Amino acid sequence: MILAIDVGNTRIKASVFEVDTVLDSFVFLKTELAENIQNILKSYKKIAHLVVSSVSDVEKNSFSEFESFVKIHFVSHNDSFPFTNQYKTPHTLGVDRMVLAAGAVLQFPNQNRLVIDAGTCVTYDFIDESDGYQGGAISAGLQLRYNALHNFTAKLPLLEVENPEHFIGKSTSESMHSGVVNGLVYEIDGFIDEYKALYPNFIIILTGGDAVFLAKRLKNTIFANSNFLLESLNQIFQYKVKND
Ligand SMILES: Nc1ncnc2c1ncn2[C@@H]1O[C@H](COP(=O)(O)OP(=O)(O)OP(=O)(O)O)[C@@H](O)[C@H]1O
Ligand SMILES: CC(C)(CO)[C@@H](O)C(=O)NCCC(=O)O
Ligand SMILES: [K+]
């Protein structure tokens, strides 16, 4: 039994896996890391391994208190991945993007894949059918767009994410919801269309905290899988066991 932990830019997500089955899932803040891990390990005494991916300032030593109970695997650039990294700056590529790319290769072999992670940032990652990781794009996530509009202007309020009622916003809040939500939806559909012009066939994996909200609104029909990064950590662990 393993515990996969995704330390994101905003929050931490974790799932307990028994082989390929998710037994339980958790979301918590970085400040509540230790107590949450402790509780999970208490509830699931058969957990033998922690597999951690972090893009945040939470580092390996935050987990050291658990070292005597479980084996800890902190995914890093030094690990072996099931793709060839064609990024020009491979050591600056986010570990989360590498984990997603690895998951895409292991779950969907021998095909072109586009992974879209709609979290704090939106990331696009393209891995071709020869398992070459090509790169992609990084843009601002849904909540980040609302926050930025408020933080860097004098007049714009801080709004909660809402479905835009009208395409033509008829008030300040309607204009902001249309700009943020429709803007991101157009961005994602636009990227997908560009990739379609380059590659006739590829699968799309849409994940992250806003995946379900966005999937419903896209022109392109995509099935959202919010748990893809944690599933990928589980896959990477099995890949590691096989290849070590
Ligand atoms: N309870 C919540 N707290 C924060 N964000 C939430 C919550 N529920 C949904 N969201 C949405 O999820 C998005 C953040 O996604 P996610 O949780 O994947 O980000 P994250 O923890 O920073 O991870 P990553 O760094 O991998 O993007 C926000 O844009 C927000 O709209
Ligand atoms: C883009 C984020 C912030 C998304 O979580 C993360 O993948 C990261 O810090 N990346 C480093 C830059 C890069 O991937 O090129
Ligand atoms: K992300």
| Per-domain residue ranges of the chain | 2-74, 84-232
- pLDDT at residue number 22: 97
Residue 90 DSSP one-character state = G
For domain 2-74, give the CATH superfamily.
Answer: ATPase, nucleotide binding domain (3.30.420.40)
For domain 84-232, give the CATH superfamily.
Answer: ATPase, nucleotide binding domain (3.30.420.40)
Cβ–ligand 1 contact at 103 (below 6 Å):
no
Please identify every residue whose CB atom is under 5 Å from ligand 3, which is an ion: 117, 119, 121
Q: Choose the residue to mutate in 143, 158, 187, 232 for probing ligand 1, maximizing ligand atoms within 8 Å of C-beta.
A: 143
Residues with pLDDT less than 70, the chain:
none
Residues with CB under 6 A from ligand 2: 9, 55, 92-94, 96-97, 121, 123, 138
Dist. CA 171 → ligand 3 center (Å): 30
Closest C-alpha among 243, 6, 215, 239 to residue 107:
239
Q: What is the enclosing helix (H) or strand (E) of 109?
A: none
- pLDDT at residue number 243: 83
The Cα 156–Cα 177 span in angstroms is: 12
Which residue's C-alpha comes closest to atom 11 of ligand 1? 209
Cβ–ligand 1 contact at 55 (below 6 Å):
yes
2-74 and 84-232 in the same fold: yes
CB environment 82-101: b (16+ within 10 A), e (fewer) = bbebebeeeeebbbbbbbbb
- pLDDT at residue number 36: 97
Which residue's C-alpha comes closest to atom 9 of ligand 1? 209
Share of the chain above pLDDT 90, in %: 93
Classify the phi-psi angles of 136: left when phi > 0, otherwise alpha if psi is within -120 to 50, otherwise beta.
left
Closest C-alpha among 189, 192, 165, 186 to residue 176:
165
* Length of the chain in terms of residues written: 244
User: Count of CB atoms within 10 A of residue 143's CB?
Assistant: 16
Catalytic residue annotation = 96
Cα distances from 92 to residues 49, 51, 55, 87, 212, in angstroms, run 27, 21, 11, 9, 29
The alpha-carbon radius of gyration of the chain (Å, integer) is: 19
- The tokens 């204009």 sit on which residue? 175
Which residue's C-alpha comes closest to atom 24 of ligand 1? 8
Helix boundaries (H) for the chain: 33-43, 95-107, 142-151, 172-177, 183-198, 211-215, 228-243
Cα distances from 244 to residues 205, 224, 237, in angstroms, run 28, 32, 10
Taking all residues of the chain, what is their mean pLDDT, rounded to a whole number?
Answer: 96
